[in-house]
Amino acid sequence: MPNLTLTYPLLAALSAVLLPFAGFLLSIALGKKARHGTVAIVAISLSLLAAGYAFAQVWGHDPIHVRWHWFTIGQHAFHVGLLLDNAAVLMLLLVCLIALPVHAYSFAYMKGDPGIHRYWAYLSLFCFAMLGLVVADNLLLMYIFWELVGFASYLLIGFWYTRDAAAHANKKAFIINRVGDIGFLVGIAMVYSSVGTLDVQALFGPQGVFAAPAGADIPAANGKGTVTAGWLTVAGFAFFLGAMAKSAQFPFHVWLPDAMEGPTSVSSLIHAATMVAAGVFLLARVFPLFNEAMLLVIATTGTITAFVAAYFALTQYDIKKILAFSTISQLGFMMSGIGIGMYHIALFHLVTHAFFKCLLFLAAGAIIHEMQHMKEKHGLAIDPQDIRNMGGLRKRMPITFATMLIASLALVGFPLTAGYLSKDALLVHAFEWAALQRGPVSAIPYVLAIVSILTSFYIFRLLAKVFFARPAAILANKGVSAHEAPRQMLVPMVFLAFCSLFPLFTFNPLNDGQVWLLQGIAAELPTLPPLRLLHLLVPILATITTIIVAVVVWRWYIRGHYPLNTTGALYRLSERQGYVNELYGAAIVRPLLKLSALLWWTDRHVVDGIINGIAAAGRALAGITTWIDRHIVDGAVRLVGKLAWGAGNVLRRSQTGRVQQYLALVFFIILLILLYLIFAQA
Amino acid sequence: MTELLPNISNKLDHVLAGLPMLLPELVLTATFLTGIGAGLFADRYWRHASFAVTTVGIVLAGVCSAWQLALPAVDNLLFGMATMDAFGRYARLLTAAVCLLFVLFAKANPGFNAHRKKTSDLYSILLAVHIGLNLMGVATNWLMVFVAIEMASIGSYLMVGYLAKEARQTEAAMKYVLFGSVCSAVMLYGLSFMYGFTGDLNFTSAAHIQGLEGTAPLLVATALLFVFTGIGFKLSFVPFHFWTPDVYQGASTPVTAFLSTAPKIAGIALLARIGYAWPADSNAFQYLHTLILVSAIVTMLLGNLAALRQTNVKRMMAYSSIGHTGFLMMAVLAYSSGEFAILLFYLAVYALMNMGVFMLADYIEARTGAVDVDEYRGLGKVLPAAFVSFVILLISLTGLPPTAGFVAKLLVFSAVFNNWQLTGNAGMLLLLIVGALTTVISLFYYFKVPLHAFLRQPEQERKTLPAHPIVVGLALLMAAAVLLLGIFPSWLMA
Amino acid sequence: MNPHLLTILIFLPLAAAMLMMLVPSTKKTVYKYIALITGLLQLLLSGAMYWLFHPKGSGITEERLYQFVDHVPWIRLDMGSLGLLEIDYYVGVDGLSMPFLFLTAFVMVIAIGASWDIQKRVKGYFILLMVLDMAVMGVFSALDFFLFYVFYELMLLPLYFLIGIWGGARREYAAIKFFLYTLFGSVFMLLVIVGLYFSVTNPDTGAHTFNMLYMMNPANYAPDSIFSAFTQRELFGISARLLGFIVLFVAFAIKVPVVPLHTWLPDAHVEAPTPISIILAGILLKIGGYGILRVCFSIFPDAALQSAWWLGLIGVVSIIYGALVALGQRDLKRMIAYSSVSHMGFVMLGIASFTVEGTAGAVFQLISHGFLSAALFFLVGMLYDRVHDRDIYHFRGLASLMPRFTVFVAITFFASLGLPGFSAFIGEAFVIIGAFNAEGLHGLLPRWMAIGGSIGILLSAVYFLWTLQRMFFGQLRVKGGNAWVAALSDASPRETFVMVPMLALTLALGVCPALALDNINASVLALVELVTGVDH
Amino acid sequence: MITLTHFLVVGACLFSIGLYAVLARRNAILVLVGIELMINAAIVNLVAFSRYDKAFYGGQVFALFAIVLAAAAVAVALAIILNVYKFYKSVNPEDIRNLKD
């Protein structure tokens, strides 16, 4: 039951959300004077403290819910409010925990950029939106922050707006996210129209409307009948659409690789750790809405995404693109986690992934920074993000290397890392779940297993090319040598590296059963019948395959025994990212423009038609379709105009100026009338 | 003859008793005579003499009829020659007003001033026409009708041909006279039949009515049609409109203004009188109303459509006046037995608008020599006052608020609608729709004037000549009146 | 309640116009100051009224629930058998009209600000502007149908000249086209008005009346009259009431405009000078929506219900059609004109849903679009004033040249594409929600219409962002070369001064919609109840 | 025995002849003559009918008026036609058509 008194945790959470907003406003107000970015950094650190306090207070206790009246439409009051349950505070903390290092990192990374004051403002805006999103207590509010997050990401992707690529990327990102938003909105509308409230707790809480077993009919709003399961599926799908776009699920993933046009720090925060995970968070929130069918859809989509993205990642050369695809693939993992009903594990993976993927990006950023530096220093014509130009950086940038190695191991789920815990938990439960399924879907866990192999392959490939392989010729013969990144960048990386290891989550590195996080969320969940054997088997197999892959990569890329021919169809398919973009271009963008051109043409020619009616009519005979078009749109007006004009013309004929003709006409008409009368008589 | 002698005295009494009712006409007659006298002798001493006489006479006549408004209605005046009811009196008053305007208008018109005989004879002709029109408005006897129409017509022929200073004027006059005489001849022929059917010339009398009922409908219809021709010529509705554009264009503007206004008032009065003289179920009534209905619709359409293509302002206005005639006929149809307030209101407003527009057209022609619409380009800046009032009058003619034209239109619409609701006669609905449509059409050509005057730029700077300011002054007054009446119609309707 | 405030608000501009007539036309600068002062006074007045307005005053059908009412007999004509013609000067405000009065005052000030640099025939310009102002105010507050019609038609004249004289290249065409479209609608509206007049009698006097409120009560209809709700008379085979509704609807739909009747709008907008575009989009389009709610729905609720499906369809078609055509434009102004077609489609969809959410959303959308479209056209005007070109492809990377201008554009674009936090979002979101509710509530609209509408939201994002990318991002490259670069100065203080309040208002409305909704709510409830007969 | 019908027939004939003249003759004067014929047709009718109207002899009175007015009209018409001739050097209505659409 929502209470209206502000308790300390609430106050803390509230300030955690609002501080970045204050930071945003302040930096806007200061304008160029806010270059150094202290405002943003102070704001985020404060909200980290607040979030920490809130977390400590709320975690493991009953959720706290507060709301204030916002506005009323008809009889329905809409509220703004906070809902602090375990998931919320967890995310709250996570976001702050990731955001702070990124801020610190950016301090050095973005130094000297002309537009940096905008950068800080945008960053604060994003933090505000993201934090608001996680604590929002009703779907409408969630939607609002959901969109704001997208907006902030739009701004940050297009941060270097003079680059065409960036300008194009942020438009693409926003529009594709818009598709999802529409889904979200439609979902909201459906829920509202069928149940009459948008309050998360009232809907999805333990004794909420949807607490009833999925698929069962729900008493609808204003007592008129019930909501049919069919509409619930649609509503569920609508929400899932939103999540798909935001979390870059196949086929909506295309915006994420392009989004790498933004500064790397941004990519690490938004497009790796937090925002893209929002979709997963949303699904976790509305989880009770989904019935069996919907869950299957989610699981399948997640799996496909995971696989496809990993497959694309295999052959990319742009370091950030590789990481982007890896992110997509990991998001796919989480989705399938949701799909198999284990959303607590999905959230767990979300958290661990946030840390190590963020770290990966930061490390990559450090390298790119260095490459860029060299490029400018020696005027080299190289793409600082192309891994073919790197190599042998192991010795040059040892700390970067170390952190990146840890992150990669976490990514592949190597024991002792956090990734190991979450990923294996996921795999294991996938198998357990599949044991209960019939038909093709039971193949899901195997696919996921394959994906994890691919994962280890592409990430090791990355490591090998960047750190081990011999330095690229262009650098070598110039005698150029890289240096370690500045300290302000290293400190956050090290911090994140620590977070990517197991101790943060459990003291037993080998058993995910004891992870406090899982226990915290899983409380109200039904668990699947455990298969003991799997808990033993899966980790071992996974680890072994990982090592094998590592060896293969060693032979291929470092020893140079490269067996594949890069012209093979499969290779090309992966390199060109499955031609998905081209497909969109051909299937949606161009037809859309064509259609719009056609409609505009219609309009314009209708207008012309009015001016010179006769001529237009003549042209109209040319093509029957255009003729119809013209007459669909305001043909009537044109008709009147033409008729009037024509009639006027005809009438002029009678005015010949011959008085006798006039008289003749008069008598003719009289005669006609007489005749008519006579025949009327008869 | 012999049996008449004994009661000749009380017949004379009856006549004498009737005369006061015709006071305005008598005044006019007197003025007519003095006017001629003044024109012959006084003018050379004081050149405004005849003008003054005429003005005073008309005003007097107007005052008389205004004063008579209060009196009770007298029918079967002079042995049923006329009926002196409020309607007729108002019509007289209106006619007087129009005549007065015409006098001032003509006085200011350069053409007439250039004329050798100035305007004195014109005035006396005008007075004759005035009398004719007055009688037309009150006549209830075919003979009286014919006399009145002829009186008005012959006068009008002369007015058109009065200053034959250029070819087109004489041409206009000739067309007018030929067309007119033929029409009146036809009418006369028709009248002879009406007389024959009924043996009575008083079309309101019982004998006349039964007579019509007695005869074969077809014959009645034919005779009516012929009579209709004469009235149609005066009102210039389709198909008797052919003369209108040519004559209006050819005649000098004041005459055109007069012709397009005064005869319509009287003619409509006459039409209304005939239209409701007979019981609604009689054949004659049916035929007449069908005739009016059909020609009203056709007239509205034709007038407005034909106006679309006109470039000469006067010609355009001629067609517009045809269109308005159709609208007036619609009003005649709508007004069911008795209350004619709406009809009168429309007539009054129409008179205002029409006179005003022609005055302005004349004024503009005098100032700049522009007679075609596209010669008006950019004149809005040169003659702002004139064109602003022009636009207001045109808006009123179109029938848009807040002008009197709108109120008049609305009233007519409501009358027609009411009639439809009572009778359920589909024709009425048709009238409504056509009326609405023609409003839209009329916008096309009325707005050519502001289009050129304000929206277009003049290709070359046009020099302006001086002209008598009284006209534009009058026009301004009328525009103001049109606006005020649009906002407070009760001032006139009360 | 303070008497005559409303009347003063309406006729203030007229007084100003009179004053201007007295000022000799040599003093060019005086006029705009008079205009500005008048506008500000009106803004003040309407603001005060908005503040004094009592949110419970739902109005709609009951006179006692209207506020700032002035009701005096105006025309009384005895027309024999037609009975006594009684026309009142009858104005009043309820939740439906109050926001629009404020909107009008506000947009007028903006428009006056935008017409600061008018050089050509200043006197006439401002006089016409004032007359227009009066007419609009009148339309929004008239409660007597005759009065309403008078004001409604009175708007046309000034607009005709304002577009025709101060407009662009094809201004004559645009002006007359606009005029004809509207007149075509309104002439037939006149017939319906006459019909209503003869159908409705004033229960007190028994005379026929133009009083709209009486027209809304079926009891006042004479039993055998044409529009009587009890004896469903038929015309040309369809119910007379439905026919009347359709005629009125078409008249207002032309103003809105909805898709088959929209082609006057792009021309009018493109040819009109900036201030007039602002007024057109900011106020006049709203009159269409307002008229449909105030007149069509309230007087012909039954017919409205019957045709709900079609209204919804029209709405959806307008949304998508407008958006798609906007996508194809090269001329920025035309693009925005079509975008308003699309946005007004939401209004149609919302009111067609006959749910409180939908209707409130629609009204809200009307208001928000009022501010936003004004802002949009103002921005286009800023660009056009500088280089006299509006072609999207002639500009590139303006962001680095005109940062402040770019910020304004970006904010306005995002606000109009429905970014939460701005007013448009609330409007559109609730239109969609309402449309969804419709099926569950009374099954008037199928759900796919709501989904179709939401696609419009997507498309609006597409064309706005695309424009943003094409014109403002990337390397600076303009057609006119250095001459343009020199000409394209950033937003001047005056322009900033005009823009900021508008954006502030949309933001305020977006962040706390209660500002508007609290006043709208009661009326919308009453209206929906009147139409659907369902007590919410 | 000459019945009413005979008169009417004569009248009709006159009218038709007059009408023919009006429409067909290419000389304004002759058109006028035609008009006169038409009027006379009417007059014949009136007089003939008035035989049955013992009360007032309205027909005959009417006939008188008609004759007078016709004379007046013709006088005016002739004057105008003279004017026309001054300008056009022709009285053929066919040639006189400067005023037209």
| List of chain C residues whose C-beta atoms are within 8 Å of the C-beta of residue A114 | none
**Closest-CA residue of chain B to A679:** B218
Question: In the structure encoding, which two tokens stand for residue A257, read together?
Answer: 């690789």
| DSSP states of B350-367 | HHHHHHHHHHHHHHHHHH
Question: Is pLDDT of A257 > 90?
Answer: no
H/E segment holding residue C224: none
**B240 vs A666: CB contact, 8 Å cut-off?**
yes
| Residues A569 and A611 both lie in one domain | no
| Same-domain status, A530 and A633 | no
The token pair at D26 is 């290419």
Q: How confident is the model at residue B239 (pLDDT cuts 50, 70, 90)?
A: confident
* 3-class secondary-structure state, position B472: helix
- Bond into A288 cis (ω within 30): no
Q: What is the pLDDT of residue B156?
A: 94
pLDDT at residue A628, rounded to an integer: 33
Count structural domains, chain D: 1
Pairwise CA distance, residues C338 & C328, whole Å: 10
pLDDT digits (tens, 9 = 90+) for B333-392: 887 655 678 888 899 999 999 999 999 999 998 888 888 988 888 888 888 889 999 999
Asked if A412 contacts A454 with a C-beta cutoff of 8 angstroms, the reply is no
Burial grade of A415 (CB within 10 A; 0-12, 13-18, 19 or more): middle
Instruction: Look at residue D97 and tell me if it is in a domain.
Output: no
Give the range among A55-64, B99-108, C235-244, D51-60 with minimum mean pLDDT.
Answer: D51-60
At residue A215, does pLDDT exceed 50? no
Query: CA torsion angle for C378, C382, C383, C385 (degrees, to 10)?
Result: 120
Q: How confident is the model at residue A610 (pLDDT cuts 50, 70, 90)?
A: very low
Residues A104 and A149 in one domain: no
Instruction: Give residue D99's pLDDT band: very low, low, confident or very high (50, 70, 90).
Output: confident
Same domain for A144 and A132? no
Taking CA–CA distances from A670, the nearest residue in chain B reads B225
B185 with D42: Cβ contact below 8 A: yes
pLDDT for the residue numbered C311: 92
Q: Are A420 and A452 in contact (CB under 8 A)?
A: no
Residues 6+ apart with CB under 8 A from B414: C79, C82, C85, C194, C197, C198
Q: Is B44 exposed, middle or buried (0-12, 13-18, 19+ CB in 10 A)?
A: exposed
Enumerate neighbours of D (3 or more CB pairs within 8 A).
A, B
- Chain B contact present for C194, CB below 8 A: yes
- pLDDT tops 70 at residue A214: no
Nearest to B175 among A654, A659, A665 (CB): A659
Name the nearest CA neighbour of B252 among B53, B382, B113.
B113
Query: How far apart (Å, rounded) are the C-alpha atoms in residues B315 and B250?
Result: 9
For residue range A575-592, list pLDDT tens digits in order. Answer: 777 777 788 777 777 777
pTM: 0.88
D95 assigned to some structural domain: no
A226: pLDDT confidence band, cut at 50, 70 and 90?
A: low
Banded pLDDT at A609 (limits 50, 70, 90)? very low
**Domain coverage including residue D11:** 4-88
Print the domain residue range for A637.
Answer: 580-657
Summarize pLDDT for C91-129 with one digit per residue, the tens: 999 889 999 999 999 999 999 998 888 888 888 899 999
DSSP state of B259: H
Q: Is residue D100 part of a domain?
A: no
Contact status, residue A462 vs residue A407, Cβ threshold 8 Å: no
CB pairs under 8 A between A and C: 160
Output phi, psi for A259, to 5 deg. -60, -15
In a domain, D33, yes or no: yes
Q: Three-state secondary structure along B380-400?
A: HHHCHHHHHHHHHHHHHHHCC
Sign of dihedral through CA atoms D39, D41, D43, D49?
negative
When CB atoms are compared, the residue of B179, B308, B440 closest to A659 is B179
A:175-194 residues touching chain C, CB 8 A cutoff = 175, 178-179, 181-182, 185-186, 188-190, 192-194
Does the residue B450 lie in any domain? Answer: yes
Cα–Cα distance for residue pair C92/C83, rounded to 1 Å: 27
Both structure tokens of C430 = 């609730």
Reduce the secondary structure of C131-184 to three states and give it as a string.
HHHHHHHHHHHECEHHHHHHHHHHCHHHHHHHHHHHCCCCHHHHHHHHHHHHHH
Cβ contact, residue pair A75, C324, below 8 Å: no
Please indicate, yes or no, whether residues A622 and A562 belong to a single structural domain of this protein: no
A669 within a domain of the structure (yes/no): no
**Residue A173 CA from chain centroid, whole number:** 8
Q: Which of A55-64, B455-464, C279-288, D18-27 has the lowest mean pLDDT?
A: B455-464
Note down the domain range covering B248: 17-493
Residues A125 and A149 in one domain: no
Structure tokens at B31: 């003025």
Q: CA neighbours within 13 Å on the CB side: how many for A104?
A: 17
* AA letter at D2: I
Q: Which residues of D touch A658 (CB under 8 A)?
A: 93-94, 97
8 Å CB contact of D93 and A659: yes
Range A317-343 average pLDDT: 90
Q: How many domains does chain B have?
A: 1
**How far is the C-alpha of C367 from the C-alpha of C364, rounded, in Å?**
5
Residue A651 sits at the vertex; the CA angle it makes with A646 and A655, to the nearest 5 degrees, is 145
Q: Which of A188, A192, A603 sits opposite C325 (nearest CB)?
A: A603
Record the tokens describing residue B420, joined without a space. 């439809």
CATH number for D82? 1.10.287.3510
Domain count of chain A? 3
Asked whether A and B share 3 or more beta-carbon pairs under 8 angstroms, the answer is: yes
Which residue in the set A151, A161, A600 is minimally distant from C329, CB to CB?
Answer: A600
Yes or no, beta carbons of D100 and A656 under 8 Å apart: yes
The DSSP letter of residue C92 is E
List, in order, residues 6 or more apart from B157 with CB less than 8 Å away.
B173, B176, B177, B180, D73, D76, D77, D80
Q: Domain boundary residue among A106, A136, A166?
A: A136
Range in A53-57, B115-119, C224-228 the model is least confident about: B115-119
Does B263 sit behind a cis peptide bond, omega within 30 degrees of 0 on the bond before it?
no
Residue A26 shares a structural domain with residue A163: no
Given a cut of 70, the residues of chain C with pLDDT beneath it are: 1-2, 80-81, 534-536
Average pLDDT over residues A534-550: 85
ipTM of this model?
0.84
pLDDT confidence of residue C238: 83
B residues 216-255 lying closer than 8 A (beta carbon) to A: 217-218, 221-222, 225, 229, 239-240, 242-243, 245-246
Residue-wise pLDDT tens digits, A259-271: 888 898 888 888 8
Q: What local confidence, expressed as pLDDT, does residue B402 receive?
A: 86
**pLDDT (average), residues A124-151:** 92
Question: Torsions phi, psi of C76, nearest 5?
Answer: -130, 110
In a domain, D93, yes or no: no
Domain end, chosen from A103, A136, A169, is at A136
Q: Read off the pLDDT of residues A95-116 as tens digits, 9 standing for 90 and up.
A: 999 999 999 998 888 888 888 8
Upper half-sphere CA count for residue B279 (Cβ side, 13 Å): 11
Among A509-518, B57-66, B264-273, B291-300, which stretch is predicted with the lowest mean pLDDT?
A509-518
Whether B285 has a pLDDT exceeding 90, the answer reads: no
According to the model, what pLDDT value does residue C148 have? Answer: 94
Q: What are phi and psi of C74, to 5 degrees?
A: -115, -65
Q: Do the strands A218-219 and A76-84 form a parallel or antiparallel pair, or are they unpaired?
A: unpaired
Task: Say whether both A63 and A105 belong to one domain.
Answer: yes
In a domain, B10, yes or no: no
Give the whole-angstrom CA distance, residue A485 versus residue A280.
33
What is the separation of C-alpha B440 from the centre of its chain, rounded to a whole number of angstroms?
24
